[in-house]
Amino acid sequence: MIAVEFFYDFASPYSYLASTRVEEVARRAGAAVRFRPFLLGGVFKATGNHPPGEVPAKARYLLVDLHRWAERYAVPFRWPSTFPIPSLLALRSALVAEKHGKLVPFTHAVFRAIYEQDLDVARPEVVARIADGVGLAGEAVASEAERMREALKAQTQEAVDRGAFGAPSFFVGEELFVGNDRLDFVEEALARSRGG
């Protein structure tokens, strides 16, 4: 089955927005979604890109834009009290969740924890509670996360090698789309891949 690869970081509010739509986009196109956590800070460093929040005018616009998108998607959104979000523990824990077949529900739960409930996912006990909530042994996930260091680096480097420079990044085959606002193009690419 044709698939879209969805590279995301929990620190990216646009990745949160995309996570609420990407599965429906793929379903309409008769495709699957492969969730691929990566470290956005590593992508920025490797590509020379910078977070939009570092530019004051962009930072002001960002908040307005995010609320517009959340309203359009009819999803909750609140600006986290801690930003930038320290997402490393949650990202590594996501790779542990993937080993146990729980990556997608864990991903959605982490995004909700950050952008709906304003929880601090840098705290091991928060990540453990999220993991418990999706049927994993939370304390074991949080403690095993450190062993995912190299796997997360490798997945991040793969995205960079394929051309990614921001989040969310989507691949349909080797065609790259960057940004929540590119999901329409993703759907069109999936339809083309199916010969539709």
Active site residues: 12
Residues 6 or more apart in contact with residue 131 via CB below 8 angstroms: 93, 97, 102, 106, 137, 138, 141, 142
Q: How far apart are CA 15 and CA 169, in angstroms?
A: 8
> In 3D, which of 7, 19, 5 has the Cα closest to residue 116?
19
The answer to whether 97 touches 121, Cβ cutoff 8 Å, is no
Q: How far apart are CA 140 and CA 31, in angstroms?
A: 33
Type of residue found at 171: F
With vertex at residue 81, the alpha carbon angle to CA 44 and CA 130, rounded to the nearest 5 degrees, is 85
Where residue 188 falls (left for φ over 0; alpha for ψ -120 to 50; beta otherwise) is: alpha
